[in-house]
Structure 1
Amino acid sequence: MDDEPMWAADRVVAPTLGFVITIPKTANKFSIKGNHLTLIKGNQFDGRTKTDPHKQVHEFLGICDIFKYRDIENEAVRLMMFPLSLTGEAKTWLDELNEGTIETWDELRTSFISRFFLPALFDRLLGKIRSFSQHENESLTDAWLRMKEMLRNCHGHNLSKSNIIKIFYHGLNEIT
């Protein structure tokens, strides 16, 4: 069998993967600017547990909104560029989705965040908020700014303003 030509042998050939994201046909009429591509590749998300997918999406959209492409909708640009912003486990996740799974930016964003903003991460961030305490020698202003950052990082915390103020107040040291 080793003497047979490659095309004559029964071999299993892995199929070429199709595209997970359906790109609108209008997007075929433009090319991505080099500096746009550089910015996207310089801000890649790898899917590690300590990285925040909400922050990645926010920064990705900020980069995408800098550049405008004539006669091309922002959604098409986002759909084409987002895979380039992924690396490592995140890129593997996207590549393993079924062909044609994603048709809109909202579907892609929702699927991405639900995959990488795990319940354990949410619970850990919410636990840090609920156990907030002012650091030694930390000013009131710095403590408040730190609390606001914690709230920003815990997307969907659903804490009311009054609960946030109570948590903050009870976390302050006696001197403050």
Structure 2
Amino acid sequence: MSAIRPPAIQRNDFELKPKYFSLVSQHPFHGLPHENPIDHIEALEDFLSNIKVHGVSEDYLFCKLFPHSLAGDARHWLKELQPGSLTCWSDIKSVFLNNFFDDARTEEFRNKIYNFSQGTTEAFKASWLRFKAYQQDCPHHGFPEIQLLNIFFRGLDWTSQATLDAASQGNFKTKTPEEATKLIENVASSTSAKKIDLERRKMAENSNGDRISEVKETSDLVHAFVIGDEQVRSTEDSQTFLREGDEEEHVDFIDETGFRKQRLADQQRNMSFTRTYKAEQTHKSKLESMMGQVQKGQQKMSALLDERLVYMSFRIL
């Protein structure tokens, strides 16, 4: 008995034409390392999408034709499954991919889905299409529909989240999976969303340009400051070295004058150390002050950008 049990159909007089079995068996999947199971599934789905029979479901067509698209080890694998355990196409596809799709690639695609996030200048529709493409690349990802919708909403930037909440008249997460999917499709194709995307892109580009200029200017200032400070300290070190050399030149005289000169050299060395220490502390304080000003400027710019996007989101909706 076969592992695949096709669902019942309304027409008792229906039979698939022999040419269909012949066509799907022309390029069978063997389960070899160089074969891509995703390509095989997509090819079969493209072929069967052209077959429309009144009173006959797609599940029935897939269940009847899929076994004929396998050969070699893949066909042997299907025969080893529990009889009657597969009753629809989604079950067949999931079991097939779980067995023949590389585990590392599966984990890679699952991570792409779970860690999805909308790009800074990425349009809402483009982000939705990309998220669906991740699922198509790994149909056996294992995420339930409601979790997929939560992942998508979580990965959107706050303006897109606000748009979905506004379109939901309150809270997007209160919608059923069917309602949520329909709402996303409507927003993705709406003119309002396109206007918001355009405004987001303009603001992001302007913001990035301003921040890049600001960071470059600050970097140049810090670089000049550091180089200048290093030159000052280098000069001080040289002077200190010369003084120490002079000290060694006079220490050979063990008399009252020599001891006075020794004490004077010690005092000068201590003063040099004190000046160097104070210069380093001043250098550190100036750097911290400059970086603090940059951070405050970036935070202020982000706050202004957020306010404008909120205004645009609710004004357009």
Of 23, 29, 41, which aligns to 1:57?
41
Please say if 1:155 is aligned against 2:137.
yes
Of 78, 89, 114, which aligns to 1:94?
78
Cα separation, 2, equivalents of 1:29 and 1:41: 24
Deviation at 1:28, TM superposition (A): 5.5
- Give CA-to-partner distance per residue, 1:40-90, whole Å, 9 cap, x none: 011211110110111100000111112222210111011110001000011
Opposite residue 111 of structure 1, the aligned amino acid is V
Report matched runs for 1:135-174 at 5 Å.
155-156=137-138
The range that moved more, 112-121 or 79-88, is 112-121
**Structure 1 equivalent of residue 67 of structure 2:** 83
Cα separation, 1, equivalents of 2:40 and 2:12: 26
The answer to whether the Cα contact below 8 Å between 1:21 and 1:103 also exists between their aligned partners in 2 is: yes
Please say if 1:110 is aligned against 2:94.
yes
Opposite residue 35 of structure 2, the aligned amino acid is T
* Structure with more helix by fraction: 2
**Structure 2 equivalent of residue 43 of structure 1:** 27
RMSD of equivalent CA atoms: 2.8
**Structure 2 equivalent of residue 19 of structure 1:** 2
The answer to whether the Cα contact below 8 Å between 2:48 and 2:61 also exists between their aligned partners in 1 is: yes
Deviation at 1:29, TM superposition (A): 3.7
The range that moved more, 19-28 or 93-102, is 19-28
- Give CA-to-partner distance per residue, 1:139-167, whole Å, 9 cap, x none: xxxxxxxxxxxx99x935xxx9xxxxxxx
User: What secondary structure does 2:49 align onto?
Assistant: helix
TM-score of the two chains, using structure 1 as the length reference: 0.57
Opposite residue 64 of structure 2, the aligned amino acid is M
Structure with greater contact order relative to length (CA < 8 Å, sep ≥ 6): 1
Opposite residue 155 of structure 1, the aligned amino acid is D
CA 1:44/1:66 → structure 2, altered by over 3 Å: closer, same or farther?
A: same
Alignment size in residue pairs: 115
**Structure 1 equivalent of residue 149 of structure 2:** none
CA 1:32/1:20 → structure 2, altered by over 3 Å: closer, same or farther?
A: same
User: What secondary structure does 2:5 align onto?
Assistant: coil
TM-score of the two chains, using structure 2 as the length reference: 0.33
Deviation at 1:120, TM superposition (A): 4.8
- Give CA-to-partner distance per residue, 1:92-148, whole Å, 9 cap, x none: 000000111111110100000110002256689xxxxxxxxxxxxxxxxxxxxxxxx
Give 5+ residue unaligned stretches, structure 1: 1-17, 125-150, 161-176
The answer to whether the Cα contact below 8 Å between 2:6 and 2:59 also exists between their aligned partners in 1 is: no
% identity of equivalent residues: 23
Runs of 4+ in 1 over 2 A off after TM superposition: 120-124
The answer to whether the Cα contact below 8 Å between 1:83 and 1:91 also exists between their aligned partners in 2 is: yes
**Structure 2 equivalent of residue 8 of structure 1:** none
Give 5+ residue unaligned stretches, structure 2: 109-132, 139-154, 156-317
